[in-house]
Structures are given as structure tokens and as C-alpha cells.
Chains A and B, each alone.
Chain A
Amino acid sequence: MTDTPDTKYPDRSRPGARRLGIGLIAAALCLGPLAALAQTQIYDARTKKWVDYDKKKARQYFARNNQVPEAFRRQAVPFRTAEKPGTIIIDGNQHFLYLVQPGGQAIRYGIGVGREGFGWAGIVRVGRTAEWPTWTPPAEMVARDPNAAKWAAGMPGGPDNPLGARALYLYEGDQDTIYRIHGTVEPWTIGLDVSSGCIRMNNDDIVDLHSRVEIGAKVIVLMQGAALYKGV
């Protein structure tokens, strides 16, 4: 075998080349019309089986309980990892966001993710955050949707703003990836794959996460799920 200057098989320090190559293209899809794709399963602790969880069930469950199923509620869970406390790990397949804590624990939050709009995995960081952020619809949406057009210059933050109560802006180096972890006005979509959206959380959860996270925090978006890789 031949080698390059620092090729062992495992050389942990080199940044991956993939990362956010298609991020900017996909970002325009954030917060477009919703369409659940019914891929989610949730674990039923009673029957100890994974059961389908789709848009219809999600709406029904939320209407009955005014909250999402237990799996997607904020909770401390055992989580062994080499990542340091404060790191965010996003598992799009299972719709969980982990905030690593000391002592082999993590706070796990339920998330909604976009199958079409989140086509990458990699390592980014929290570049900045905002409370009650302004939402500016992408130009394509402004062109086709009169409701969005009236906010072409930016929709002020508030309870009707689709970004919800808080937003964490994900950066690669010093560059905004245009991906965000944000709140939502549609809490029942937590746990679903919707055809749009960055990473959405219930407003209570994003407020909680926002209060715990530091600017610069490492964010690892896992390759699982969300049609992340097309195969290379």
C-alpha cells in the first residue's frame, strides 16, 4: 500500500470533504409546504415493538394529548460517547437531537426533519442564535406563494413565525450554512419526516436547548436517515 504524508488508516484530524456540498441548494427548501412521508416508527414500550408513526397518527395523538408521544419528549437518557458535553448530535432517522451531558448522559429532544431538505451529514457548529427570529422566505417561495410574498422582506419573530421561539444558526467555519435548528408553530410535526424544514423542535424544547447551548458548540449531523447520502 502507498501512503500520503499522514495516512495511517485512521487519521482523525482531517476534515471530511463531503460535509455541506449540497447544503445551500437544499436550504431553499426549508420551511416550504409540509408533506409527511410516513417513514417514522416509534417504540411502544408496552408492546416492546416499533410501530409506524405517520402524519395522521401524529395529528390524532397531539389532539388527544396536547403533546407528542413520550419518545419525542425532552428527557435525560444514557448516552455513551467520546464527544464532549455540550456537543449536539442529530439523528434524523430516529428524530432525536442529543445534547451531550457529563457522566455518560444526554438530554434527548424530539425533532422534525426534512427528507428532501436535509441531504447531508457532517460537522458544523452553532454560529449564532436568536430569540424569536425573523423569517425571510426564500425567493422561490415568495414567487409562488402570496402568503409568503407579503413577508418577502422578513416576517418579524412571534408566535406565528414558522421559525418559532428560538433559532440556532449552523455555520461551517465562519460561513452560515443556511441550516437552522429552530422552533415550530406546528408541534405535532415533531417526530415526522416532512418534505421541508431544517431541524424543528417544539418551542419549549428549543428554548431549553437555546438556554443550554454555547456559541461555537459542535453539531454532528449523523448520516442516518433523511436520504442523507446518495451513496458515493
Chain B
Amino acid sequence: MKGKSKFLPAALAACLAVSAALPAAAADLVIAMPNWPSGQATANILKEGIARKFGLNAEVKELGTLNAFVGFEAGTVDIQPEVWRPNFEDVVRKYVTDKGVGRLTERSVPAWQGLCATPEAAKSIKTVADLSDPEKTKVLDTDGDGKGEMWIGAQTWLSTGIERVRAAGYGYGESLTLFEAEEEVAMAAVDAAVATGRPMVFYCYAPHHVFELHQIIRIDEPPHDAATWKILPPNDPLWVSKSSASTAWEAAHFQIAYATAFGKKHPDVAKFLEKVDFSPEEVTKMSYALEVERQTPADFAKKWAEDNAARIDGWAKP
């Protein structure tokens, strides 16, 4: 037993070392894959496209955005398919502007975040001002206290704290009970509300498959005015109460990022990345395909690449 127990870990370690080395040895580049569906789809589409046009084998590796930029600097990551801005402005400043270890493509996909309503809610709640009217929001009451409820995001999202700031800024924090819960709970709640024709108001963002799944209406807000937004860094425990915001979110967008060193080594691939031009509608469809149709990112990407071969050819043209 003693010999066996000694031998096994050694053998196992040897096996692990070999298997761990395999992907790195086989891959020509590493694409970071974030944990949201459109990012997963895009990571795999880029892998397919690069393999087809440049004969390079990419390893798709699950990594958050910050870790991808850290990987750019360390030389362990080459591409990040979806960098959301302004959310990651600090990271972009550090790794792109200051250190110069990463680059962002010129093209970007416009994104949006704000407040949404199911069709039943949208009958009486059309603007953010309506949310401050208890007479209008009482239809959102689901717990019998006479006060409506609204989901504002998951506990861990940075945006959730900002939604709380906005609720205070606009004033509807007084007339509504604000919920935080996992996104899956909130989206299932939207499903149930739509299925039974009940009103519901919630934080939302686009591109997102919920807009494919249901008829969702965006609630009107005054356009973003930077002068009305004073958001403190969240490392202050009281940042929510010290911050203020009373207009719409700034228009967001996301871009592909790649390591500067990778761009120098493979300028043709870097040019290819510069030409990738997904529309918001396409990104929504990616999200729908993965989340609702349950296609795997790899399978979806293979099919997408087959169906869009000419498009990929266009991206690869010098």
C-alpha cells in the first residue's frame, strides 16, 4: 500500500503535467472567453475564422476581462472578444493607454442599459417619471404591501449599486421596493410575468436575448448628462449613498481587444480583428442561440462560420 500510494501521486502528477502542457503546445494563440453568452460565441467565432483564414489554432480559455488584460501583459493571452466600455475604462486606461500592452479595435458594437417594462407594465409606465408615481407603480406590487417592486440587478454587479444611486436620484427609490437577485431569477420572473400578462419593471441591458424572447419595452429617460453623474469608486463602503445620478446611462459599447505583442507577431490577424463588424442584432441572436436554444459556443461558432464564410473572407482581405 505504501508503495502504491507513493507511486500514484507521482504518476498522476506526470499525467497532469503532460496533459496540461498539451493545449499550450498545440495552440498558436489564446482567446479569452468571458462568461456571458455573446462573449462566448464571439470568442469561438474568432477561433473559427482565424483557423480558416490563417491556419492558426487558437485555444479558447475561460477568463474574465481583467485577467485577459493581465494575460496580455504576461504574454499568456492574445485576444479578448468583448471589452465593455465605459465599464472597463480603468482597465483600458491601465493596460492600453498607460502600459501599451493591449489594443482595442476601432469598430465597436453599441450597447445599452436602462430600465425595461413588460407590455402590461408599459401601458401605464412609459417614462422614468412614472416610476415615482405610487398610483402608477402600485400595479407592480406582488407582496401585498401596496408598494411596487423592481429588480435592479444581481448583488455582485457594479451596475446594481449605480441603479440604486439612480433610484435615489430620480426619486423612485421612495415609491418602489428595489430587489437584488441573480439574473436567472429575474429573467424567469419576466417569463412568468409575460406568460400571465402581469406587469413587471426591471433593469435591463442590450444586446440581450430577453428582447428576442419577449416583447420588452424600454422606459424613457432623460438623455445621459455627465454633469448629473457623480459615481464614487466602489472601494468606498458608502459609495452608493455618496454618489448621485439622475439621467440615463451613458451609451455603452464593446470592442475586441488584443495583445500588442500578438498584433506585431500577426499583423494580418490584427487587421482581421479590426474588420470584425457584428451588429447588436447579431449579438442578441448569439445570446439567444446559446441561452435559449442551448447551442454550445463551439457548435454555434462552427455553424456561424459555415453560414457566413463570405463575411469571414471579407474580414481577412488585406
Contact = CB atoms under 8 A, between A and B. Distances in A.
Interface of A: 1-18, 37, 39, 43, 77-84, 89, 91, 93-94, 96, 98, 106, 115, 121-123, 220-229, 231-232
B51 to A, nearest CB: 26
B157 A11 contact: yes
A123 to B, nearest CB: 6
A228 B183 CA distance: 16
Contact of A14 (B149, B156, B179, B235): B156
A210 to B, nearest CB: 21
Given A89-B192, A232-B180, 19 more contacts: A2-B158, A2-B234, A3-B87, A6-B34, A6-B35, A8-B65, A8-B82, A10-B36, A12-B184, A39-B144, A78-B195, A80-B214, A81-B187, A94-B192, A122-B185, A221-B185, A223-B185, A224-B189, A224-B192
Question: Which one of A18, A77, A106, A122 has the highest number of Cβ atoms from chain B below 10 Å of its Cβ?
Answer: A18
Contacts, number: 181
Interface stretch (B2-10, B88-96, B306-314): B88-96
A122 B188 CA distance: 11
B34 A9 contact: no
Contacts of A1: 86-87, 89-90, 158, 162, 231
A122 B294 CA distance: 22
B178 A12 contact: no
20 contacts: A2-B235, A5-B66, A8-B65, A9-B205, A10-B154, A11-B154, A15-B182, A17-B155, A39-B144, A43-B196, A80-B191, A93-B142, A223-B142, A223-B151, A223-B181, A224-B142, A224-B192, A227-B145, A229-B143, A232-B179
B149, B159, B178, B192: residue with the most chain A Cβ atoms closer than 10 Å? B192
B113 interface: yes
A229 B177 contact: yes
A231 B164 CA distance: 11
B180 A7 contact: no
Chain A contact residues: over half helix, strand or loop, or mixed?
loop
A220 B158 contact: no
Contacts of A231: 177-179
B188 A220 contact: yes
B91 A123 contact: no
Given A2-B90, A222-B189, A224-B189, A12 B143 contact: no
A3 B35 contact: no
Given A96-B192, A223-B186, A82 B180 contact: no
A8 B87 contact: yes
Contacts of A80: 191, 194-195, 213-214
Contact of B185 (A94, A96, A220): A220
Nearest to A224: B142
B84 interface: yes
Nearest to B196: A94
B188 A89 contact: yes
Contacts of A222: 185, 188-189, 192
Contacts of A77: 195
